[in-house]
Structure 1
Amino acid sequence: MTTQVVILAAGMGSRLGRSLPKPLTELNDGRTIMQQQFDNIHQAFGKNVKVTIVVGYKLEHIIEAFPDANFVYNEQYDQTNTSKSLLRALKASSNGGVLWMNGDVVFDPSALERATALVARDQSFVTVNTSKVSDEEVKYTTSAEGYIKELSKTIKTGALGEAVGINYISRDDKAAFIRQLQRVDDQDYFERGLELAIENDSLLIEPMDISDLYAVEVDFAEDLERANLFV
């Protein structure tokens, strides 16, 4: 089955202070953030991979830049968070698992190459970095068996690292995840849906460690400067 990939790109990205959608921010190598994501996706999964972009803010610019992609529209992009953008994409997806990422992550191509083994065996996972634990980032803890237990910005103690923003939900786990994304508040991140699915549906989600690789979520100008050191 063809790998399904979703890029979440509906938000306004106002913290970076750019007029275009944040995924269209140009990097030092001449590519946009989203173009390097497409390059990484194709390198790992081939040219036939199905990529769906969730659009909202100034969507026409993203559609023009990536005319061969599929698109899902979050008409409430200015009122909802990533949970509701991802919900729309998952409901529109075909049978099978879905790999998704935030549209503002600049990351090492090897991250997705490492993910191919988990995708091949249809194992749900969250990509993590154990080298730092910042208060403002999504953090995680694990169960005794090593699976994700908590996944949020509000973890106070015991956090093992940060979630990177690249994740996969398996075919068998997708229905439960969709149910929980429907439950969460409009302003919740998709990680809250994963937490509820772990708690209520006993989903087993592996942490995939890419601490040895670069991955930068570009929220502020200093994040962009850091990302440009790698590309």
Structure 2
Amino acid sequence: MTTAPQVVILAAGMGSRLGRSLPKPLTELSDGRTIMQQQFDNIHAAFGTNVKVTIVVGYKLEHIVEAFPDASFVYNEQYDQTNTSKSLMRALKSSGNGGVLWMNGDVVFDPALLVRVSEAVNRDQSFVTVNTAKVSDEEVKYTTGAEGFIEKLSKTVKGGLGEAVGINYVSSRDKAALLYHLQRVDDQEYFERGIELAIQNDGMLVEPVDISDLYAVEIDFAEDLERANLFV
């Protein structure tokens, strides 16, 4: 039986590129579910319905609170001035003991993905899910060291081996180091910068978990939504 981790969904941003009036995670998919409902369904399928889910909210938060009344909420009051590093920082500060699985609130993904990563969750091993099938300029890319653990993780990586999907886990032993660096990075940094600094400065070991054979689509633009709808 898979141990249920604490799960965090980052949903504070304005998602302006998609051009909708509601928070992006409440965008409806072709099967009638919202992006976030699809995430909840996948979380419950992998870890059971008693799993603790915390949503970091900001922009038009009342809509998300209303849609998911059973979740816990952390408020990023600077949602319009900060990036995902500060939302994750707030979530980790409010988390209990143990590791934390987190995801961006705009990812539509295969239900099998969380089942696959549950083995690493059970080992309490920090990881980043990756797609090695494509390496786009505007996406977060990664490289690995000799042992196979992640070395660099950013949009500016040269010679990237693949893209980060936006679903990650920090182990109980690595959480303090990651939190330390998230507190210190610039407000506009993505959380990946905190991971990269914890790797460089604290020797944090982060496994890349390859999910290339499964679907995972981050919804930034209308064409992303069209692509995600082919899967659901």
**What's the TM-score bracket when you normalise by the shorter of the two chains?**
over 0.9
Give the TM-score taking structure 2 as reference length: 0.98
Secondary structure, in 3 states, of the residue corresponding to 1:35? Answer: helix
Q: Which residue of 2 aligns with 1:194?
A: 195
Alpha-carbon distance between aligned partners in 1 of 2:74 and 2:117, rounded to the nearest angstrom? 24
Structure 1 residue 2, shift from structure 2 partner: 4.5
Work out the CA distance in 1 between the residues paired with 2:146 and 2:210: 17
Query: Match of 1:112?
Result: 114
Aligned-residue RMSD, C-alpha: 0.6
**Which position in structure 2 is the counterpart of 1:213?**
214
SS of residue in 1 equivalent to 2:180: helix
Find 1:154's aligned residue among 131, 153, 156. 156
Please name the residue that 1:122 is paired with: 124
Tell me the amino acid that sits aligned with residue 214 of structure 2. L
Q: Deviations over 1:67-105 (max 9, x none)?
A: 000000000000000000000000000000000000000
- Counterpart of 1:226 in structure 2 is 227
Paired position in structure 2 for 1:103: 105
Separation in structure 2 between the aligned mates of residue 139 and residue 175 of structure 1, nearest angstrom = 24
The code of the aligned residue for 1:72 comes to V
Q: Which of 90, 93, 96 is 1:91 aligned to?
A: 93
Asked if 1 retains the 8 angstrom alpha-carbon contact of 2:4 and 2:48, the reply is: no
Counterpart Cα distance in 1 of 2:213 and 2:37: 23
Matches of 2:45 and 2:118, distance apart in 1: 11
Please report the TM-score for the alignment, with normalisation by the length of structure 1. Answer: 0.99
Aligned to 2:138: 136
Q: Where do residues 163-174 of structure 1 align in structure 2 (5 Å cutoff)?
A: 163-174=164-175
Amino acid paired to 1:42: H
Q: 1:202, 1:2 → 2: CA distance?
A: 26
**1:183 paired residue number:** 184
For the 8 Å contact 2:129–2:166, the answer to whether it is kept is yes
The letter for the 2-side match of 1:127 is T
List alignment gaps of at least 5 residues for structure 1: none
Q: CA deviation at 1:169?
A: 0.1
Residue 172 of structure 1 aligns to a residue whose secondary structure is coil
Counterpart-to-counterpart distance in 2, 1:116 and 1:45? 8
Give yes or no for the alignment of 1:65 onto 2:101.
no
Large movers: runs of 4+ above 6 Å: none
Structure 1 residue 191: deviation in Å? Answer: 0.0
* Match of residue 32 from structure 1: 34
Q: 2:78 corresponds to which residue?
A: 76
Q: How many angstroms apart in 1 are the aligned matches of 2:5 and 2:122?
A: 9
Structure 2: how far apart are the matches of 1:119 and 1:2?
8
Figure out how many residues of one structure are paired with residues of the other and give that number: 230
Distance of 1:182 and 1:18 partners within structure 2:
30
Q: 1:118 and 1:2 mapped to 2: Cα distance?
A: 12
